[in-house]
Structure 1
Amino acid sequence: MSEPAAQTRGVRIAALLPILLSAGILLAGNGVLLTLVAVRGRAEGFSDVQLGLIGAAYYVGTFAACLMTAKLIQRSGHIRIFAVMASVAAIAVLIMLLLIDPWVWVAARALMGMAFAGIATVIESWLNDLADRGNRGRILSIYRIVDLSAVTGAQFLMPAIGPGGFALFVVTAILYCTAMIPVAASRLQSPAPPERALLRPRAIWLLSPVACAGCITIGLTNGAFRTLGPVYAQGMGLDIDGIALFMSLGIAAGALFQFPLGWLSDRFERRTVLILSTAGAALASLLLSHAQGGAIFAGVFLFGGFAFPLYSLSVAHASDHARPGEYVELSLGLTFFFSLGATVGPFAASLVIDHFGPPAFFLYTSAMHGGFVAFVLYRMTRRPAVPRAARARFVALIRSSPLLLRLSRGRAEDAGAEPPVGKAPE
């Protein structure tokens, strides 16, 4: 390797450190807060329906940020917008502590969803700028490891500190503020602003109805699990340590199952693997709807293992039908369909819990997964499989901003410019 190339590579690796450190701190705070909101809300007397609305509000904010963050970055730059969004998240946490009211929490969680989707766009556009063909896979893998480690480990802050009082809210706000330091104090230069992508849901649906329906299903189920999973666990008699373990097992299993399921989907009909994974999530849900004691932990491990990879599998299936230049628009469209499901899912699941009790939560997720299996089976009769040689490579994704799909698939300029979704090449 030439000396200039080695220096360039060293600069890229050094630039990753403050970005990933800031990302890890933020993800840790967000991970523990998702669980804290459900547990503390119940302790404050919030109804299950109100907790569902609080969860849905987060995803409304997420979708809003996907539409406006690129413009904000173009106007103010990455570092300023990163600081703004982290500050908004910290302010929202402190508002939740200052005013313990379900409707205030709805507004605060919407702000937090907007902040974290904006932060994801900033971080991932930086990673996209630093990545090249030689290190793109490694950068994405490191980012996934940071995400998994931070979210899983942070679950145990709740039993260590306790959900009562003000301490854990303050610790979370401190984490959000601390996350600004590595990026703000570094010598990082802001990359080029993210490209604009059109939101055209109809075009994305026509491109891949299975992927769109999959993202809706994932929003209805996984979005509800992240919001109301602690409510189920608490209703089944688990203490704070048990709730933290319950949530951690589901998240960790999702990461463990990503790669074997992805390997299978690269070698067999992608929709067949989608059916198998979705059916596994449905069966695990049925187990959880009747589980007691240790079976609850076995059930959530299987549920997380089969349910969480569905996003990556759906994206991979859609990518099989897309050109390289279409990936950002494709991911924005899939984010739209996920947001539709995630906005409805927590509220719908909360109504189920409110009327039928905590075990019915997983009857709800089983029904949603079962419906998706039926839809995929129908679509297999309407469209032939993509030949293996023409498939995009599976990449295990964190469901965050549209830019992560571009990072995983490679920059458009690596493969040459391509026409937008729905247009034929000239």
Structure 2
Amino acid sequence: MKTHFKTWLLALIALTVMSGLPLSSAQAHGEKALEPFIRMRTIQWYDVQWSTQKFNVNEEVSVSGKFHVAEDWPISVPKPEASFLNISTPGPVLIRTERYLNGKPWTNSVALQPGGDYDFKVVLKGRLPGRYHIHPFFNLKDAGQVMGPGVWLEIGGEPGDFSNTIKTINGEMIDMESFGFANGVFWHLFWGALAAAWLLWWVRRPLFISRYRMLDAGLEHELITPQDKLIAKLVLVGVPVLVLVLNAVTANRYPDAIPLQAGLDQILPLPAQVNAGTVNVDTLKAEYNVSKRSMVLQVKVDNRSQGAVRIGEFASSNVHFMNADVTNVGYIPGRDDVSNNGLSLDNVAPIEPGEQRTVSIEVRDAAWESERLDGLIRDADSRVGGLLFLYDDVMGKRYISSISAAVIPKFI
């Protein structure tokens, strides 16, 4: 008994101490919460970059990049017929001022086409100073959020310096931080008071047992008095009339108001590149070794381009596994989402023009475990997906292929 008490006491002390420590993982936004097959085979982000990571309140920052909508879309995930690009932040630390998809201003949800590539840009404005972990993400209808790569943004300045003034259709300048606040508070209190008065009118008298006894005695007609009926009629008529009158007053005061938009944009994917299809990649097999934390992909590369190509990168679920032998991949060493030596080939020789070669790619890194991607071997849809990047060192071209395959787990 004494031993058990001592164990519980030590556990309580440890929990108390740990609760006061800063936990960086708690500042994330659930980017590892979705099943690996959803993160790997839905929205495949690439070339995502921020204009700056240090700026002040009222200054703008933009995030831009591209994403590929995977052809091998999981059958258990609803098709992206209604999707919304947004920015995940820990509260209202930024405001979104502009958003573009394929160069077009974009305000509504959009229907995405599997197999298509899209270019996006979101412009944000600093609102609250601090250091925050920020992600772009797609909200997929009936599927949830698919997070893009995250970064830490540092916003300087003072909170009081922030301004969010806009010009309305009729030329009036209004402050969006305070416009309509008092009016909103008043009507919340008004309807809350009306609802509370209606509730109190009925609960002011004895309930339950007393009313049950009256029903049991056949006195149900006495439960509702003529005064109750009069109050109910006044509320039934008065509330709709009040709402209609106030709506007419508001419409007369703001005749040029634009309602919240609920449409669905139809924006086509980027046009196929001239060099698209000149390097074809077919995934033959995928094996995941649990003990080594490595994925072995066997692919068949058909090089129909004019120059020799080399496999330089495999990207999946915002993690980039790099081939150290290819130097022009364009990623900064030391980034948390980059494994600079995570990709190796059984044959490092460039694939010549017109050559077809079967290549074994080993993607080996602790990121498979730390990013919870190794859980795909326990998923009901155990398939790996991602983007394979091939480079032409001489002509400076890059070829991107979305690949996927069923995963065979290996435990030894």
Question: What TM-score, normalized to structure 2?
Answer: 0.23
Larger RCO of the pair (alpha carbons < 8 Å, separation 6+): 1
> Larger strand proportion, structure 1 or 2?
2
Larger Rg: 2
> Larger helix proportion, structure 1 or 2?
1
